[in-house]
Structure 1
Amino acid sequence: MQKISLFLFQHKNSTQIGIQFKYNTDILDHLKKLETVKWSRTYKAFYLQQSKENQQLIFNHFRKINCFIDYEKLKENKPLKTKTIAHNVLKLPSLTESYQEEINRFKKWLTQNRYSPNTIDTYVEVTVFFLRYAILKNVTEFSKRFIEAFNYDFVVVPNKSISYQNQCINGIKKFLQFKHIKVEELAIKRPQREKKLPTVLSKAEIKQLLNATTNLKHKTLLSLIYSAGLRIGEAINLQTKHIDSKRMLILVQNAKGKKDRYTLLSETLLVLLREYYKQYKPKEYLFEGQNAEQYTSASAQKVLQHLAKKVGIKKRVTLHTLRHSFATHLLENGTDLRYIQELLGHSSPKTTMIYTHVSSTSIQKIKNPFDSL
């Protein structure tokens, strides 16, 4: 019997029931049938809000697939404290009702301005922290000095990442724009991101990963991402009508930057896709989970990490690693950088240029002076 562990933790000012188990695709697919279940990055667990009804719901749901439920930690009734550093340092109060209404209007405004769901979630999240900080400091007018103080207390002191600091700046600026508030030039310099090179797998490692799975859906999805250089969001949004087998192209619609583009359709992948289609018969999306809903990026990422561990790849492998590997292998095969830019959907050639730094072709041609000593 598969073991399901339940525990309590604090999140979003309320107690949640955490759900953890050893990775298993059947359990994962079954769990996602619960529409209200969410994922916590902090605790690496799925969760539902704590209530007797939800507790019973979890018990009944997992008993359907004959799982053993360990609920000893629920009996202790001692929720784990939130791990977020900013909360521990600042002890931010809850939003007032008026500010909550403001946040709802801000979210609606962002939606009307056609920002992506991920961008909306990020901007709303940082703005909530900003307003809670304002309540803590008893501030009602957002001056330049106050915003700089928030940046220092909330980002610099807890040593948040450079990427997160930029997200905070963007989110606050959008909120001020929404409120028609003009603030003099901020003395917050946008720090430059670390120029880290992308992780790239060799062709042999890609082959190892794909050969390690007997699940046709998993193999087809990962093969598609690599062979077409897709982002995971682009892959799970594909429909059968987007596969043009006559022209051997894949249409990627409404990708990053709200742009459409074409990318390559591999002949080997086409054979795999036809076999996959006959077996799974997808209805709307090319890749679907249980009950014909859209397949999730979290499920795909779990599959890849499991395979990487299985074949012994020590590099930090993500779904985006397959896209990086596609671009690097094209470059090493002599494909012009401009074509790679088009296939990846990069708006600037500077973004694509990073693959010249990870390609081994030119470096391998250089004779090492140590060899001639």
Structure 2
Amino acid sequence: MRHEDASAKNLNEGNALALRLFIESLDLKAYSRNTIRTYVNEFRQFLQVLGSMNAANLADQRIRDYFVYCLKTLRLSESTVHSRINAIKFYYERVLGRDSVFFEMPRPKKPQILPRVLSIDELKKMFDLTPNLKHNTMLRLCYGMGLRVSEIVGLKISDINSRTMQVLIRRGKGKKDRYVNLPQSMLLQLRSYVVAFQPREFLFEGQAGKAYSIRSAQQVFQTALKRAKINIKTGIHSLRHSYATHLLEQGTDIRFIKELLGHDDIRTTIKYTHVSPASIRNVKSPLDGMSKLPGGDDPERPGFF
């Protein structure tokens, strides 16, 4: 596999070999293209810092010192350091076969940032103000089935079963297939779209009949936000967050949401769902369900509440 960012420029002979073996191992493990791209970039950054030292011969403490350098000197974000640890861990454990105990080291705690969830009114406004049938269908399906952007652009016509009203999501994150439900309200629009655009393989085609690009899908979302005058910084992934949150607010069991989203761990689903303040205000205390409490009818209202 060709990796444009896999240049061994400025690396000594030993580290150039380490990079080549690293890439070969990632390919053999069939990691996703995005993961390979990220890991190769992070590992190359590590190798470039080593200078004349060979990665294969580094002692444990040297590697720990490097991560302290990333945090204290380079001031990299916690997420970037986590990503770099994972890449370097892969090299030492999977490529060189070192024992995993070697790499038991504390990781910087990631900040828990709640995802931006769009309200039903905001979503409706976005959809209503997106006149292009292709773009409208893409956004509605992305939200209506809780898809990742890679999943919506990778969707094929053959994956949609209008008889069972289910859609097969092939090799999602973690390379797992799963089924999601096709929204009943989308069936007629979907048929109109297919008749109008005549896609051959991928439901949303880009140039030369290939899958629509992720970047183009992001641009479609940003244009819809702008048209709806929703002035927030967020990406198309917020449609998936919104789907999960709205299901939870409707009373859907979180275990079902976990399966629909394709999560391995329910803790990931819990992080995904974000109950809105308005929904929290509507939660009634169990005390309110009890029989009438003492206090009389309509007491005089104090001035302070």
Residue by residue over 1:259-300, the C-alpha shift from the partner in whole angstroms, topping out at 9 and shown as x without a partner, is 111111012212121111111111121111121111111111
Which of 262, 277, 280 aligns to 1:345? It is 262
Length, aligned pairs only: 278
Contact 1:243 1:250 in 2 (8 A): yes
**1:131 partnered with 2:47:** yes
1:357 Cα deviation (Å)? 4.2
Task: Give, in whole Å, the separation in 2 of the partners of 1:322 and 1:240.
Answer: 22
Contact 2:244 2:273 in 1 (8 A): no
1:244 Cα deviation (Å)? 0.9
TM-score normalised to structure 1 length: 0.69
Whose strand fraction is larger, Structure 1's or Structure 2's? Answer: 1
Task: Give, in whole Å, the separation in 1 of the partners of 2:24 and 2:46.
Answer: 18
Which amino acid is 2:61 matched to? R
Query: Structure 1 residues 198, 311: CA separation in 2 closer, same or farther (over 3 Å shift)?
Result: same
Residue by residue over 1:315-361, the C-alpha shift from the partner in whole angstroms, topping out at 9 and shown as x without a partner, is 22211100111111111112111111111111122222235542442
Contact 1:308 1:317 in 2 (8 A): no
Which amino acid is 1:336 matched to? D
**1:100 partnered with 2:42:** no
SS in 1 for 2:179: strand
**1:174 partnered with 2:90:** yes
1:207 Cα deviation (Å)? 0.9
1:104 Cα deviation (Å)? 2.3
- Calculate the aligned-residue CA RMSD, in Å: 2.4
Structure 1 spans left out of the alignment, 5+ residues: 1-37, 39-92
Report the counterpart of residue 309 of structure 1 in structure 2.
Answer: 226
Task: Give, in whole Å, the separation in 1 of the partners of 2:182 and 2:60.
Answer: 52
Which of 136, 141, 151 aligns to 1:219? It is 136
1:251 Cα deviation (Å)? 0.9
Report the counterpart of residue 283 of structure 2 in structure 1.
Answer: 365
Query: Structure 1 residues 358, 158: CA separation in 2 closer, same or farther (over 3 Å shift)?
Result: farther
Which amino acid is 1:143 matched to? A
Contact 1:197 1:358 in 2 (8 A): no
Task: Give, in whole Å, the separation in 2 of the partners of 1:268 and 1:225.
Answer: 14
Report the counterpart of residue 235 of structure 1 in structure 2.
Answer: 152
Query: Structure 1 residues 357, 202: CA separation in 2 closer, same or farther (over 3 Å shift)?
Result: closer
Contact 2:160 2:166 in 1 (8 A): yes
**1:164 partnered with 2:77:** no
Contact 1:144 1:183 in 2 (8 A): no
Task: Give, in whole Å, the separation in 1 of the partners of 2:269 and 2:100.
Answer: 36
1:183 Cα deviation (Å)? 8.5
SS in 2 for 1:275: helix
Task: Give, in whole Å, the separation in 1 of the partners of 2:104 and 2:78.
Answer: 16
Query: Structure 1 residues 310, 162: CA separation in 2 closer, same or farther (over 3 Å shift)?
Result: same
Contact 2:117 2:274 in 1 (8 A): no
Task: Give, in whole Å, the separation in 2 of the partners of 1:280 and 1:312.
Answer: 28
Query: Structure 1 residues 279, 147: CA separation in 2 closer, same or farther (over 3 Å shift)?
Result: same
Residue by residue over 1:8-51, the C-alpha shift from the partner in whole angstroms, topping out at 9 and shown as x without a partner, is xxxxxxxxxxxxxxxxxxxxxxxxxxxxxx9xxxxxxxxxxxxx
The sequence identity of aligned pairs, in percent, is 37
**1:110 partnered with 2:26:** yes
Query: Structure 1 residues 186, 243: CA separation in 2 closer, same or farther (over 3 Å shift)?
Result: closer
Contact 2:15 2:47 in 1 (8 A): yes
Query: Structure 1 residues 147, 268: CA separation in 2 closer, same or farther (over 3 Å shift)?
Result: same
Contact 1:229 1:344 in 2 (8 A): yes
Report the counterpart of residue 50 of structure 1 in structure 2.
Answer: none
SS in 1 for 2:168: strand
SS in 2 for 1:254: coil
Which amino acid is 1:232 matched to? V
SS in 2 for 1:251: strand
SS in 1 for 2:11: coil
Report the counterpart of residue 335 of structure 1 in structure 2.
Answer: 252
Structure 2 spans left out of the alignment, 5+ residues: 286-302
- Superposed, 1:1-373 pairs within 5 Å as 94-135=10-51, 138-140=52-54, 141-177=57-93, 178-181=95-98, 185-186=102-103, 188-354=105-271, 357-359=274-276, 360-365=278-283, 373=305
1:250 Cα deviation (Å)? 0.9
SS in 1 for 2:177: strand
1:204 Cα deviation (Å)? 0.8
SS in 2 for 1:166: helix
Task: Give, in whole Å, the separation in 2 of the partners of 1:183 and 1:263.
Answer: 37
Query: Structure 1 residues 283, 230: CA separation in 2 closer, same or farther (over 3 Å shift)?
Result: same
Contact 1:163 1:193 in 2 (8 A): yes
Which structure is richer in relative contact order (CA contacts within 8 A, separation 6 or more)?
Answer: 2
Residue by residue over 1:89-129, the C-alpha shift from the partner in whole angstroms, topping out at 9 and shown as x without a partner, is xxxx8223553343123111111112111111111111111
Which amino acid is 2:63 matched to? I
1:256 Cα deviation (Å)? 1.2
Contact 2:241 2:273 in 1 (8 A): no
Which amino acid is 1:271 matched to? L
Which amino acid is 2:77 matched to? S
